[in-house]
Amino acid sequence: MRRCCTSSSSGADWNEAPRDELVQHLLTAYHAPLREELPRLEAMVRKVASVHGEREPVRLPALQAAFLALEADLTQHMDSEEAELFPPILERGVEAAPAVASFRDDHTEVGRLLGEIRALTDDFRLPDGACNTWSALWHGLEALETDLHHHIHLENNVLFPRLAAA
């Protein structure tokens, strides 16, 4: 667990870093890349569902629906964090921030959707004869899951407890 709290590139220990640095890290290492990656994955999930929907008439539409729900939830969640939670920390150096219960609830829903996506992708195992887009989608979804687990860990287990203690 400790490994995901330390950035290998900067050597920063996020358990000890100032709150504003942690928030800036969350914005640059997770929020900005997510805003680029989600539309790329959406295009692939739509393409795979469209091209291969007859081959997988139940699984691929369900995967598309789960991904679109995840994308919408994440976008709304990041917008809320960037509008309500992070500004007091970044702009005014305020030690406390709004209550984090709703943000934790969002994380629970993200975890549920990630579990659904993992199940629908058969733990990201490619079916025989999967095309390059299908392969790229599975790899992208697996990487998204890994990054989101790290991202959510930093918020739930590092940032939020520090805000509650302030």
Does the residue 47 lie in any domain? yes
**Contact yes or no for 26/12 (Cβ under 8 A):** no
Instruction: Evaluate whether residue 32 is within a structural domain.
Output: yes
Residue 117 lies in a domain: yes
SS (H, E, C) 88-106: HHHHCCCCCCCCCHHHHHH
User: pTM (2 decimals)?
Assistant: 0.90
CA dihedral angle for residue 110, residue 127, residue 38, residue 156, rounded to 10 degrees: 30
Query: Contact 63/117 with Cβ under 8 angstroms?
Result: yes
* Structural domain contains residue 5: no
CB 119 within 8 A of CB 66: no
Q: Which two tokens stand for residue 98?
A: 């709004």
Residue 10 in domain: no
4 inside domain: no
In this predicted structure, the answer to whether residue 73 has a pLDDT above a threshold of 60 is yes
Residue 76 falls inside a structural domain: yes
Please list the residues that pair with 13 across neighbouring strands. Answer: 6
Written as six digits, the tokens of 135 are: 């392969």
pLDDT value, residue 7: 44
Q: Is residue 148 part of a domain?
A: yes
Q: Domain of 109?
A: 15-165
Structure-block tokens of residue 27:
């914005």
Q: Give the model's confidence band at 100: pLDDT under 50 very low, under 70 low, under 90 confident, else very high.
A: confident
Q: Where does residue 76 rank: exposed (0-12), middle (13-18), buried (19+ CB within 10 A)?
A: exposed
Q: pLDDT tens digits for 74-97?
A: 999 999 999 988 988 887 665 555
Structural domains of the chain, count: 1
pLDDT confidence band for 163 (50 / 70 / 90): confident
Gap between the Cα atoms of 103 and 93, Å rounded: 20
Q: How confident is the model at residue 154 (pLDDT cuts 50, 70, 90)?
A: very high
pLDDT above 80 for 9: no
